[in-house]
Amino acid sequence: MSKTGILFVCMGNICRSPTAEGVFRAAATRAGLIDRLRIDSAGTLDYHIGAPPDQRATLAARKRGYDIATLRARQIETADFARFDHIYAMDQTNLQVLADMRPADYRGHLGLFLDLAPELGVREVPDPYLGGPETFEQALDLIEHASVVLARRIAAEHR
């Protein structure tokens, strides 16, 4: 059985998308899906390639029981469209970059992560990079909620 690929994308792959990768891995594990999924994250820019997540993101995640410290930033590449069935951008700007690079034959889902959870009343995970600790907590709140929704949807697809 082939694995379903899930990719989370933000600008630099050091705050929002590695947080989403780590949180969704935990949600997928709790849902019994982890062995059926290939989960990763990437950035649209090359500023931080090879770098660990921002220390503030790592600390906020650790406080909630998620370990993202071992993740390393990478830049999205065209080949990712062949590897991932679902590609979720954290905001409109990065979604547009992804839409511009999407191959014409890509048949997977490309969209905003928070569109999975319209009840949140926001469509973008705000970039916490220039903010304080509370902005990382806010991003985590949104990411946790959408991750649970995504895990439920994928579990329903795999029934």
Instruction: Quick: pLDDT tens for 15-71.
Output: 999 999 999 999 999 999 999 999 999 999 999 999 999 999 999 999 999 999 999
Q: Which of 124, 145, 127, 123 is nearest to 54 (CA)?
A: 127
User: Does the structure show a pLDDT above 80 at 1?
Assistant: no
Q: What ranges do the domains of the chain cover? A: 4-157
> Residues 71-81: what's their mean pLDDT?
98
Q: Which CATH architecture has domain 4-157?
A: 3-Layer(aba) Sandwich (3.40)
Give the model's pLDDT for residue 159.
77
What's the pLDDT at 157? Answer: 87
What is the per-residue pLDDT across 82-135, written as a single tens digit (0 to 9) for each?
999 999 999 999 999 999 999 999 999 999 999 999 999 999 999 999 999 999
DSSP string, 4-55: EEEEEEESSSSSHHHHHHHHHHHHHHHTT-GGGEEEEEEESS-TTTTPPPPH
**pLDDT of 12 above 80:** yes
pLDDT at residue 46, as a whole number = 96
**Active-site residues: which are they?**
10, 16, 127
Distance between CA atoms of 34 and 120, rounded to whole angstroms? 25
| pLDDT for the residue 158 | 81
Amino acid present at 154:
I
